[in-house]
Amino acid sequence: MPDTTITLRRSLLRKDILVLVIALAVAAFAIVPGLGGDPLTISRSQSMGAIAVALVAACGLNLLAGYAGLVSLGQGAFVAIGAYVSAWALLETGLPWPVSLVVAIGASAAAGAVLSLAAARLSGPQVAMITLAFAVMVHRIFVELEMFGRLAGYPNVSNHDTSLLEPVTIGGTVLEPPLFAGTGPLVMLLVGALAVLSFVAYRNLAESAWGRSLRALATNEIVASHIGINPRRRKTAVFTVAAAFGGMAGTMQTQLQAHLQPESFTFTLSLSLIIMVILGGSGRLYGPVVGVLVLMTLEHSHAMQGIVEFQQENLSDTWFLSDEGLTGLLLILTLVFLPSGLAGGAQQLWHRWRAARTPAAATSGDEPALDIDEAPIDEAPIESVRQQVQGSSEHHAHAEVMRLTGVTHSFAGLKAVDDMQLSVRSGTIHALVGPNGAGKTTLVNLITGVYPLQGASRVEIRGADATGLAPHAIYQLGVARTFQTPQLFHGESALVNVMAGLDAKLGESFLATLLRLPKVRRLEAQARERAMGLLGTLGIEEHADVPAGELPYGLQRSVELARALASDPEFLILDEPAAGLNPSETYQLGTTLEAIAATGVAILLVEHDMSLVIRVADEVTCMERGARIYHGDAAGLQQDERVLAAYLGAGHVTIEGKGNQNA
Amino acid sequence: MLEARDVVSGYGSVSVLHGVDLELDREEIVAVVGANGAGKSTLARTLAGLLPLRSGNIILDDTQVGASSSHSRARHGLIMVPEGRRLFAGLTVRENINLGRSAVGKRGSDPEPADVLGDIFPIIKERENQRAGLLSGGEQQQVALARALAGRPRYLLLDEPSLGLSPALTTQLFETIARIREHLPVGILLVEQMVDRALALADRAYVVERGRVVLSGTAADVAASPEVQRAYLGGAGSAPASDGPAAP
Amino acid sequence: MDSVLVGLTLGGLYGLVALAFVLTFQTTRTLNFALGEFITAGGFLFLAIVALDVPAWLAVALAVVLIGLLGTVVERTVVRPFNSGPHDIRWLLTTAGLSLIMLDLLRNSQGSGTKALNGIGFDGFTSIAGTKVSTQFLLILVVAIGVTLALTWFTMRTTLGTIFRAVAEDRETASLMGLNPGLVALGAYAIAMTIAAAAGIMYSSEVGLSISTGQGLLVAGFAAAILGGLDSIPGALAGGIIYGVATVVATDWLGTAVGGVIGLVVTVIVLAVRPQGLLGRVVMEKV
């Protein structure tokens, strides 16, 4: 269906252009009135500049803290590094200003990369601690380093004979900073352009496969690695990118103020930035924009002063909260009343309003979609599954896709898996059953590389030795899986969740994503198209735009299945897909699984629901206490003494005979 | 008596139990059986207070406890041995068991439970100063039972006690449970996947399927019913009736 | 050699701050990011009580106890409601917000000058193996070692300490045994903030007290706690000493700028190799 792909591409392009035009218009609206240098507009220009700086820093922070869930309390440090390094490069090295800008951003990014050596291996609280420590330390360095003038600022009269940097020039035009009444602050044009460019770059990253991979990291690193993401590398990358945005903000600050003081970069700056992100809505595209505007407007408005005066008059003239304290209070209140921020709250209201307007779509998920006895099974979706999942059209009939031999695994000396063997063939469904605690999920985790294989354990996937590969490498071999409890990115729409499943297959380069080259837009359109198609074949396309967390459980399972199918897997592993489904949903699931297998996909089905297993499985393996006790067809399973004993108790099997019976 | 009335609960947006009624008297063993995912463990966790009650009631000796926390239920005599034992791995066997006494509050003059319970659980004396994390599965189960009994429960919930144990150790475990009933005035709710063993030991039983009680009665009646095998191995019905669980 | 000894004594101070982090993290998996302000508040509270003509030793006792109580209030109102599980780190932001609020209140009410704490602590220096070290810092090191030993004894040997360890290991199972994890959390915060306030008073009796006293110790405390593993009481002291020695030695040899950075550099290197810290344990995420 190339026609719809082209339409999609065009609409993506239109949206990109629209955003660019609006951003330019907003920047022009902010900047142009002050360009004349009218004394009355100087402070306005300064405020606009400060907003631009905060916006760029907050956008980078949102990628790190909001999208990737790594709450950094040290973004201010990267602003400081960018500011000081760009000032140094302009003053001491005589590099042309564009080069100094690149050098400064590079220095910030490098600092971020170094910090990520430790931070990318840590979890939430430790990341916050180490970034905060970093911010305080960087501030101290600029207070202490003689070459940056210490508290005298940089540059300063005693060392440099001037306290102001020379303004940059473009083609002979001097871009004066907004400092002197009567001089047109032309640097605002540069700052505005940099802010717009940064915002577009931020949006390009956030609304891309790369951005979706960050959300996956935030949800669960193990899940992320199963959709082809290398968690540590990606965390290092986002740390570096966030630091680069901070560095960009710093260079803008240098241009605006022409003089740097260490007290502009205290720990409070870092805290303000994270507050802006939270207040606006962390992990929302426009969250930082809203947060920066609201907080900076509040700080510059008379409201804050009014509150301070009110406290002084009515409570105490010594124990009162001024700007900083009120900001802290605002952060706590936001987390109490508006945990998803202003942008998130607005989005939720919008979804609720839309759900109220279309009651059918909102409720249909809660009731059983079909009653087996009454409704005939609709064959149409099955046929379209066949068309959709046409990954390898030239598969050999029932060729072996995965073979597992001699797999033994112990946790702290206790054997969880004991000399297991298993093979799954294309176009067939192999069910893995067994009582709770038999080691089924452990075995799946061994196949997909969650646990390292021990001893002589060996996994072969599509003829290649997959022993010792990490989950993201296993993914690239054409393996996809679902989890015992659906692991979706709850804040994101069902569509975005499904797209995340094939992102790692697209192989978009970071640079191409940053610049949103035409190729990226084409791939994005194709991904969207395919994800939409998969939602359609599973009969849930009307929920495509609903945040996954708001979907009923059964639909969440369907979305997760669609995500697994999105990467066009040759081998699909489903861990208890029927758990929590009602009988009619389970019946439909069986039909869907059969249709998927019919396209040549090999399916490993870990399942407790025996009616489903008996209906769809071509082969069944039963595990007990880590070992294989049955392998054969489903009918034989119900007759097998050892299986009955494993499930129902050893009442009719002698205990002594158990270990040595036929395999 | 411990009573569950029309209990509804679950995880996140999912309801697992859809209105379960259940009764447990002191000095009886009641088995809850059913396939994996039927809601047995959810029931035990809801009764113990680890999962919030969505609707319905839980009544413990005429007191409604549906809204109270798990530690206050423990102090009212309702103690659960969780699935997988969950011993405090870094604590010694003796420390684990003595911690269990917290549920009865301060009893300064009482002997330490680790000493009292040594008669029922020989393992305590053999391994008392060893870290609990180093014990084998069967030993851990003994310590977990002792730790719960140290809190002097009137009602004891055992969530899948045989999980991961070998048949021989399972036999030993069920003997221990039988011994507890002989020695102590406690009602035991046994959530178990080893159906025939559980039914052989229990006085009464409930069969749970898809979050509802589908069958209840004396353990012998339940064991004789074809419902049980259907609940475990699916409804295709191809297995002959004689392959069903052996009634005691 | 001189600098090693000086670093050692400073390490005691950092270790105390790190201990305050470790105590709450062990039991509740949360930290008080406003800890710096608790340290500072301890000093100012002492001054306020002394101003009422209360003897200095009694003022110290009252100040640390009151700050400990404030710790329980913070746990109940600012931490617990924002900690619904391992993936919920809103508490981190609310305590950071609290830090802004407390700092602002202190600034508005106490001014930004440096005040002296008189009537407590030691003056002058003590000679050890020919090296002069501040007697007060030596006292802090002794206190830090004493507190570490006492807390180790408390957690390993007392019934209450066993309860702390049980809750730290598995809150859910602890509650099944009739233990109230909420009470343990309150207790941990009380002890931790008491230690923070005591460290603040001892430290500022030597160097004076300003509203940024606590923040100055925060970085060292964070780094020391993470170095030690965030989970280990002896680890906190070890981390503090490593940080202290590294900082002083590097400052003497390579200047203040390097000295200010070296502690964090060491921390980053250690974590890059050993993310769980020197004495921490590995925890694996499950799906």
Q: Model confidence over A413-460: pLDDT tens digits?
A: 678 899 999 999 999 999 999 887 788 989 999 999 999 888 889 999
DSSP letters, C173-229, are HHHHTT--HHHHHHHHHHHHHHHHHHHHHHHHHHH-B-TTHHHHHHHHHHHHHHHHT
The model's pLDDT over A86-142, given as tens digits with 9 standing for 90+, comes to: 999 999 988 899 999 999 999 999 999 999 988 888 878 889 999 998 998 899 889
Between C6 and B121, name the one with better pLDDT: C6
Looking at the predicted structure, is the pLDDT value of residue B164 above 90?
Answer: no
Q: Do residues A370 and A587 touch, judged by C-beta distance below 8 A?
A: yes
Q: Which residues pair with A493 in a beta bridge?
A: A547
Spatial separation of the C-alpha atoms in residues C44 and C70, rounded to whole Å: 14
d(CA A612, CA A637): 13
Reply yes or no on whether the pLDDT at A251 is more than 80. Answer: yes
What is the enclosing helix (H) or strand (E) of A409?
strand A400-411
Contact residues for A626 (Cβ-Cβ < 8 A; gap 6+) = A409, A415, A416, A417, A418, A420, A438, A439, A442
State the sign of the Cα–Cα–Cα–Cα dihedral C155, C156, C158, C161. positive
* Distance in Å, alpha carbon of B80 to nearest chain C alpha carbon: 6
A 464-523: CB under 8 A from B: 485
Computed on alpha carbons and rounded to an integer, the radius of gyration of chain A in Å comes to: 29
Decide: helix, strand or coil at residue A230. coil
- Strands of A400-411's sheet in order across: A414-425, A400-411, A458-461, A464-465
Residue A605 has phi, psi (to 5 degrees) of -110, 105
SS (H, E, C) A348-363: HHHHHHHHHHCHHHHH
What value does the mean pLDDT of chain A take?
A: 87
What is the three-state SS of chain B? CEEEEEEEEEECCEEEEEEEEEEECCCCEEEEECCCCCCHHHHHHHHHCCCCCCEEEEEECCEECCCCCHHHHHHCCEEEECCCCCCCCCCEHHHHHHHHHHHHCCCCCCCCHHHHHHHCCHHHHHHCCCEHHHCCHHHHHHHHHHHHHHCCCCEEEEECCCCCCCHHHHHHHHHHHHHHHHHCCCEEEEECCCHHHHHHHCCEEEEEECCEEEEEEEHHHHHHCCHHHHHHHCCCCCCCHHHCCCCC
Nearest to C226 by CA among C14, C40, C37: C14
Quickly state the pLDDT bin for C283 (edges 50, 70, 90).
low
In order, the DSSP letters of A286-354 are: THHHHHHHHHHHHHHSHHHHHHHHHHHHHT-SSS---HHHHHHHHHHHHHHH-TTHHHHHHHHHHHHHH
B226 to chain C nearest CA, in Å?
36
Average pLDDT of chain B to the nearest whole number: 84
Mean pLDDT in residue range A178-195: 91
Backbone Cα Rg of chain B = 18
Confidence check: pLDDT of A388 > 80: no
Of chain B, the percentage scoring pLDDT greater than 70 comes to 90
Kindly report whether the peptide bond that precedes residue B153 is cis, defined as omega within 30 degrees of 0: no
Q: What is the CA radius of gyration of chain C?
A: 19
Compute the distance between CA of residue A513 and CA of residue A519 in angstroms, rounded to an integer: 9
- pLDDT surpassing 60 at residue B239: no
With bands split at pLDDT 50, 70 and 90, how would you rate the model's confidence at A286? Answer: very high
Q: What is the mean pLDDT of residues A471-489?
A: 92
CB contact under 8 A, C177 and B79: yes
Chain B residues 111-140 within an 8 A CB cutoff of chain A: 133, 136-137
CB pairs under 8 A between B and C: 68
| Higher pLDDT among residues B106 and A34, named by residue | A34
3-state secondary structure of A400: strand
pLDDT over threshold 50, residue A394 = no
Examine the pLDDT at A659 and tell me if it is beyond 80: no
CB contact under 8 A, C109 and A318: yes
* Nearest alpha carbon to residue B23 among B6, B42, B39: B6
Q: What is the pLDDT of residue A652?
A: 40
Give the model confidence (pLDDT) of C66-116 as tens digits. 999 999 999 999 999 999 888 888 999 999 999 999 999 999 999 888 998
Say how many Å lie between the first and final Cα of chain A, rounded.
50
Beta bridge partners of A575: A606
- The answer to whether B154 and B28 are in contact (CB under 8 A) is no
Tokens of A418: 């004991």
Q: Give contacts of A 458-497 with C, CB under 8 A.
A: 483-484, 487
**Residue partners of A332: CB distance under 8 A and separation at least 6:** C78, C94, C97, C98, C101
pLDDT value, residue A322: 87
Q: What is the pTM of this model?
A: 0.87
d(CA C140, CA C143) in angstroms, rounded, equals 5
What is d(CA A138, CA A140) in angstroms, rounded to the nearest whole number? Answer: 5
Measured CA to CA, the distance from residue C132 to residue A417 in angstroms comes to: 62
Residue B22's beta-bridge partner residues? Answer: B4
Alpha carbon distance C12, C224 (integer Å): 11
Q: If you measure CA to CA, which chain A residue comes closest to C276?
A: A122
Instruction: List Cβ neighbours of A346 (8 Å cut-off, separation of 6 or more).
Output: none
A633 to chain B nearest CA, in Å? 13
Q: Is C111 on the interface with A (CB under 8 A)?
A: no
What is the predicted ipTM?
A: 0.91
**Would strands A400-411 and A414-425 be described as parallel, antiparallel, or unpaired?**
antiparallel
Q: What is the mean pLDDT of residues A555-561?
A: 93
- In angstroms, rounded to a whole number, what is the distance separating the alpha carbons of residues C74 and C41? 14
Locus of tokens 């979907």: A551
Among residues A270, A377, A394, which one has the least CA distance to residue A327?
A: A270
User: Per-residue pLDDT averaged across B178-203, rounded?
Assistant: 90
Query: Which tens digit of pLDDT belongs to each residue from C195-237?
Result: 999 999 999 998 999 998 998 898 899 999 999 988 899 999 9
pLDDT at B113: 74
Residue A358's pLDDT is 66
Higher pLDDT: A233 or B244? It is A233
Helix (H, G, I), strand (E, B) or coil at C87: coil
pLDDT at site A288: 96
> Under the phi-then-psi rule, with left for phi > 0, alpha for psi from -120 to 50, and beta for the rest, what region is A283?
left
**CA-CA distance, B245 to B230, in Å (whole number)?**
11
Chains that touch C (3 or more CB pairs under 8 A): A, B
Looking at residues B103-123, what average pLDDT do you find? 71
Residues C19/C233, Cβ–Cβ less than 8 Å? yes
Angstroms from C94 CA to nearest CA on chain A: 5
Beta bridge partners of B60: B2, B63
- Residue C118's nearest CA partner among C143, C136, C132, C103 is C136
Given a contact cutoff of 8 angstroms between Cβ atoms, the answer to whether C169 and C281 are in contact is no
Average pLDDT over residues C116-134: 82
pLDDT at C262 over 50: yes
Select from C159, C169, C180 the Cβ nearest to the Cβ of B88.
C169
How large a percentage of chain A has pLDDT more than 90?
54
What number is the average pLDDT over the span C233-256? Answer: 93
Instruction: Please give the interface size between A and B, counted as residue pairs whose CB atoms are below 8 Å apart.
Output: 90
Reported as a pLDDT band with limits 50, 70 and 90, residue A291 is very high
| Element spanning A203, H or E | helix A187-206
pLDDT at A656 over 50: no
Closest CB to A648: pick one of B12, B136, B229.
B229
Whole-angstrom distance, CA of residue B39 vs CA of residue B32: 10
pLDDT score of A660: 37
Terminal Cα distance for chain C, rounded: 51
Residue of B50, B51, B71, B156 to mutate, testing the C interface (most C Cβ within 10 Å of its Cβ):
B71
Residue A641: pLDDT band (50, 70, 90) is confident
Query: Measured on CA atoms in the order B230, B232, B238, B242, is the torsion positive or negative?
Result: negative
Q: Where are the alpha helices (DSSP H) in A41-96?
A: 42-61, 75-88
Q: With beta carbons less than 8 A apart as the criterion, state whether B121 and B181 touch.
A: no
The per-residue pLDDT for A369 is 38
CB A535 within 8 A of CB A541: yes
pLDDT, residue C282, reads 65
User: Nearest CB to A328: which of C25, C31, C99?
Assistant: C99
- Tokens of residue A232, six digits: 């540590």
Question: Which residue in A582, C158, A614, A392 sits closest to B235, CA to CA?
Answer: A614
Residue A617, both tokens: 């499985």
Domains observed in chain B: 2-87+154-231 (3.40.50.300)
Q: How far apart are CA A429 and CA A353, in angstroms?
A: 43
